[in-house]
Every structure is written in structure tokens, then in C-alpha cells.
């Protein structure tokens, strides 16, 4: 009973928080979707300098995402191009440290892996992809403002135009004599480091039959040791070995050299892997359905020693020249799995989680197996990834 209660508590700890955040996840998805649709309109607006619909589009973005560096940057650009008062907008922009967000954006835009950086940290970039055409247009327009004789920019307006045109050194030289940040914010670098490396998974749990009135293999403990791919991509894979300790089973018949042997199995070993796909990832929790394929060998306890000898003119010496080896007779089968895992981030590469799965094991593949063994099983495992 204590084990059952502990399992329920652990299951609640792992499973319930993601579903409690389902509403938040839906809002994030709406923000991302609305921003992508709005960006198409904004490219035309900025390219043509026709800002009549700008506030409507920005209002749509803010209704789902709130105000951001990106929306304020566009408002300031409009004010500069239309030669209207931009002082209050610029002061508000700088007071909220939006300039630091934009410097971070420009820094990451030149990284070779800028696409994966954005995909893993969308919210940090206001759901505007790095190196988006809108960014390029804003840089071009800002640079033109700085070099056009038709615009008489104030010192404050020149500072912000330097920033928007990605002339960071000139911006910081004029903006309170501050030095630009030497490194991007640590938050994103830590997130990338944690997910861009593979890891090891150790699991422990139980496997139980889900069909049959008197199954041969009943509830048994299971363990696994797997190599796991990096978590920064949508598709995940795992390779390794699974062990089922057959401590709760019945005897079965096995045909060995035309003789029927009644045996018990002590262990089943499976070698293979899983392929998964992330359907939920909010940096703290990851949910991923999986499919798996394994080659499985179930021990029978039957083995034999085979000897080989070297002959020399009808004489052999089995003590000095002979060799021997042990041959094991196992029940060979194929294990297929369909499951889902939920993991919670602890720190760096460390995650803790739970996995539930259905397994179909084709014991009837083994021609020497005389006893029918039911093939349908379920499993529940707790795991630690590091």
C-alpha cells in the first residue's frame, strides 16, 4: 500500500503541473501564431513606409503577447520616419532596458546556430525569428535616417537609430558612456547547454500482464540503461538495454534436441531503442510519446558446453589443444513498445520523470517454445536522466 501511495504521489507531482499549465501553453501558442501572421503584414508596412495600419497590427500582437521590445521598436521607427515626437517613446524604451534585449538579439543573430537558438528560446525573442526580414528592414531604415540630410535627428534620436541599425559601439559611446555587454544573458546559454548534449537514463519500475487469466509472467521488476539524444530537437531517440527480472513466473516447456524440458526463466534482456517526439516543452516539463523496437532473449537456464579439438595424424590432446565454449538456449522474441514519458527539469542536464508504456512481445517466434506465453504487457517506470 505504501508503494502504491508513493507511486500516486510521484505521478501527481510529475503529471498534474503540465496539465495545470495547459491554459498558459494555449496562450503561448496563440501569441506565437498571431505574431507570425502579423509579421507578414509588418514586412509590407515597413518596406513601404505606410504606417497607417501599424497601430492596428501592433495592437493585435499586444492583445495576446503584451508589450515588448519589438512593438516599441516599431513605434519609435514610425515616429522617426514621420518626424513626429519620439522623445517619450525612446525614454520609455530605455527605461525598460529594451535596448539590452535588442543587443542580445543582434548578438545571437550572427551565431551559426541562430535558428536552433531561436527555436529553443522563442519567448526571449518575442516570437520574432532571428534574422527576420522585419529586422533587416528596420536596420536599413535606421541607417538611412542617420545618413539622410532630410532628417535632422536629435542626439537622443541618433542614439536610438544607432541601436536599431546594429551599430552597437556607436550607441554605447553616446548613451551614458556605457560599455556594451561582453556576453549575452546567461539564461539562454544555460538552456542551450542543457539541451544540446546527450545524456544517460537509468530507469526502474514494474512490468505487468494486461491480458490472460493466468499469465506465465506476472508482475516483475524492470530496469533499463539507455543513451539519450539531445533534447533541443523535436525528435528524440534512446538506445540501450532493458532488464526484466522474472521473479514471479510459472514453469514452461522448451524443446531441446527432441526432448521436452520444463524450465523457469530468471531474466529477460532486451536490446534496442525508442524514437520519441516532443508534444510539450516549456523548459521545465517535457512530454514525449515514444515507439520502441527491441530484440529480447528470455533465459531458460539451459546451456551446454561444446568442445573442439585439433587433430594431428589421428591423435588429439583435448587437454592441451582443445577449446570449449558455453552455448545458452534462450527464448528469442521481438519486443515492440508504445508509450509516453513525462520529465521534469532539475538542473543542467538532470531530469526526473515517469514513463508508461504498452509492450507486445512475440514469444511465438521461438520454434522450440512449447508453452503459450501471453504477449501483452504494460509497464510503469521512474527514471533519472543525467
* Domain-embedded: residue 186: yes
Q: Do residues 118 and 107 make contact, with C-beta atoms less than 8 angstroms apart?
A: no
**Are 106 and 219 contained in the same domain?**
no
Which pLDDT tens digit goes with each residue over 204-223?
999 999 987 889 999 999 99
Q: Do residues 57 and 38 make contact, with C-beta atoms less than 8 angstroms apart?
A: yes
- Between 319 and 254, name the one with better pLDDT: 254
Task: State which of 177, 192, 207 marks the end of a domain.
Answer: 192
For residues 175-194, give the mean pLDDT.
53
pLDDT surpasses 60 at 4: no
* Domain-embedded: residue 3: no
pLDDT surpasses 90 at 188: no
Task: Check residue 11 and give its pLDDT.
Answer: 45
pLDDT surpasses 60 at 321: no
* Domain-embedded: residue 6: no
- Between 133 and 194, name the one with better pLDDT: 133
**Are 131 and 217 contained in the same domain?**
no
The CATH number assigned to the domain holding 365 equals 2.40.160.20
- Between 25 and 346, name the one with better pLDDT: 346
pLDDT surpasses 50 at 23: no
What is the DSSP track for 37-67? HHHHHHHHHHHHT--TTHHHHHHHHHHHH--
Please enumerate in sequence order all residues whose Cβ is within 8 A of that of 237, keeping only pairs 6 or more positions apart, or say none: 228, 229, 273, 274, 275, 276
- Between 127 and 179, name the one with better pLDDT: 127
Under DSSP, the state recorded for 374 is -
Task: Check residue 197 and give its pLDDT.
Answer: 80
- How far, in Å, CA of 284 to CA of 346, rounded? 8
* Domain-embedded: residue 5: no
**Global confidence as pTM:** 0.52
* Domain-embedded: residue 376: yes
- Between 242 and 231, name the one with better pLDDT: 242
Under DSSP, the state recorded for 336 is E
The two beta strands, 220-228 and 350-361, are unpaired
Cell 535588442 belongs to residue: 102
Q: Do residues 114 and 135 make contact, with C-beta atoms less than 8 angstroms apart?
A: no
Mean residue pLDDT across the chain: 85
**Are 188 and 277 contained in the same domain?**
no
Task: Check residue 29 and give its pLDDT.
Answer: 63
> How many CB atoms neighbour CB 72 within 10 A?
19
DSSP-based three-state secondary structure for 256: strand
**Are 161 and 212 contained in the same domain?**
no
For residues 97-104, give the mean pLDDT.
91
* Domain-embedded: residue 322: yes
Range of the domain at 260: 197-385
Lowest mean pLDDT among 11-15, 195-199, 249-253, 264-268: 11-15
In the chain, % of residues over pLDDT 70? 83
**Are 232 and 327 contained in the same domain?**
yes
Cell readout for 338 is 508504445
CA dihedral 178, 170, 50, 137 (to 10 degrees): -110
Q: Which residues of 132-150 are buried (b: 16+ CB within 10 A; e: fewer)?
A: bebbebbeebbbebbeeee
* Domain-embedded: residue 297: yes
**Are 207 and 330 contained in the same domain?**
yes
| Per-residue three-class SS string for 137-157 | HHHHHHHHHHHCCCCCCCHHH
The count of domains in the chain is: 2
pLDDT surpasses 60 at 26: no
Please list the residues that pair with 244 across neighbouring strands.
222, 268
Please enumerate in sequence order all residues whose Cβ is within 8 A of that of 96, keeping only pairs 6 or more positions apart, or say none: 69, 72
Task: Check residue 347 and give its pLDDT.
Answer: 80
Q: Do residues 80 and 153 make contact, with C-beta atoms less than 8 angstroms apart?
A: yes
**Are 129 and 208 contained in the same domain?**
no
CA dihedral (370, 331, 300, 292) positive or negative: negative
CA atoms within 13 A on the CB side of 31: 20
For residues 292-303, give the mean pLDDT.
94
Task: State which of 155, 172, 192 marks the end of a domain.
Answer: 192
Cell readout for 307 is 568442445
Task: Check residue 303 and give its pLDDT.
Answer: 87
Cell readout for 177 is 558612456
Q: Do residues 235 and 228 make contact, with C-beta atoms less than 8 angstroms apart?
A: no
For residues 96-102, give the mean pLDDT.
92
Task: State which of 167, 192, 217 marks the end of a domain.
Answer: 192
Amino acid at each position: 500500500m505504501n508503494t502504491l501511495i508513493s507511486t500516486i504521489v510521484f505521478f501527481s507531482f510529475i503529471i498534474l503541473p503540465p496539465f495545470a499549465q495547459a491554459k498558459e501553453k494555449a496562450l503561448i501558442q496563440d501569441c506565437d501564431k498571431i505574431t507570425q501572421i502579423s509579421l507578414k503584414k509588418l514586412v509590407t508596412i515597413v518596406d513601404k513606409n505606410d504606417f497607417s495600419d501599424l497601430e492596428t497590427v501592433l495592437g493585435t500582437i499586444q492583445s495576446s503577447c503584451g508589450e515588448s521590445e519589438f512593438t516599441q521598436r516599431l513605434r519609435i521607427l514610425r515616429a522617426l520616419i514621420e518626424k513626429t515626437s519620439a522623445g517619450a517613446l525612446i525614454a520609455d524604451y530605455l527605461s525598460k532596458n529594451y535596448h539590452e534585449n535588442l543587443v542580445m538579439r543582434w548578438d545571437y543573430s550572427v551565431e551559426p546556430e541562430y535558428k536552433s537558438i531561436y527555436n529553443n528560446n522563442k519567448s526571449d525573442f518575442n516570437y520574432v525569428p532571428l534574422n527576420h526580414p522585419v529586422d533587416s528592414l528596420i536596420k536599413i531604415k535606421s541607417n538611412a535616417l542617420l545618413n539622410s540630410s532630410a532628417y535632422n535627428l536629435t542626439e537622443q534620436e541618433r542614439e536610438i537609430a544607432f541601436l536599431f541599425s546594429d551599430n552597437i559601439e556607436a550607441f554605447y559611446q553616446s548613451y551614458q558612456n556605457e560599455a556594451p555587454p561582453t556576453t549575452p544573458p546567461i539564461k539562454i546559454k544555460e538552456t542551450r547547454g542543457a539541451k544540446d548534449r546527450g545524456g544517460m537514463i537509468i530507469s526502474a519500475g514494474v512490468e505487468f500482464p494486461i491480458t490472460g487469466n493466468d499469465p506465465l509472467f506476472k508482475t516483475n521488476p524492470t530496469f533499463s540503461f539507455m543513451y539519450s539524444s539531445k533534447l533541443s530537437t523535436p525528435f528524440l531517440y534512446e538506445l540501450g538495454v532493458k532488464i526484466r527480472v522474472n521473479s514471479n513466473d510459472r514453469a514452461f516447456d522448451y524443446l531441446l534436441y527432441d526432448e521436452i524440458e520444463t524450465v523457469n526463466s530468471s531474466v529477460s534482456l532486451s536490446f534496442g531503442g525508442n524514437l520519441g517526439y516532443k508534444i510539450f516543452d516549456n523548459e521545465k516539463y517535457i512530454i514525449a510519446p515514444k515507439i520502441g523496437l527491441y530484440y529480447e532473449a528470455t533465459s531458460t537456464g539451459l546451456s551446454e558446453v561444446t568442445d573442439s579439438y585439433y587433430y594431428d595424424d589421428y591423435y588429439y590432446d583435448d587437454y592441451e589443444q582443445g577449446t570449449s565454449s558455453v552455448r545458452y538456449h534462450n527464448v528469442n522474441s521481438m519486443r515492440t513498445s508504445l508509450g509516453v514519458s513525462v520529465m521534469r527539469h532539475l538542473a543542467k542536464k538532470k531530469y526526473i520523470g515517469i514513463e508508461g508504456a504498452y509492450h507486445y512481445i512475440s514469444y511465438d517466434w521461438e520454434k522450440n517454445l512449447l508453452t503459450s506465453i501471453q504477449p501483452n504487457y504494460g509497464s510503469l517506470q521512474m527514471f533519472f536522466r543525467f
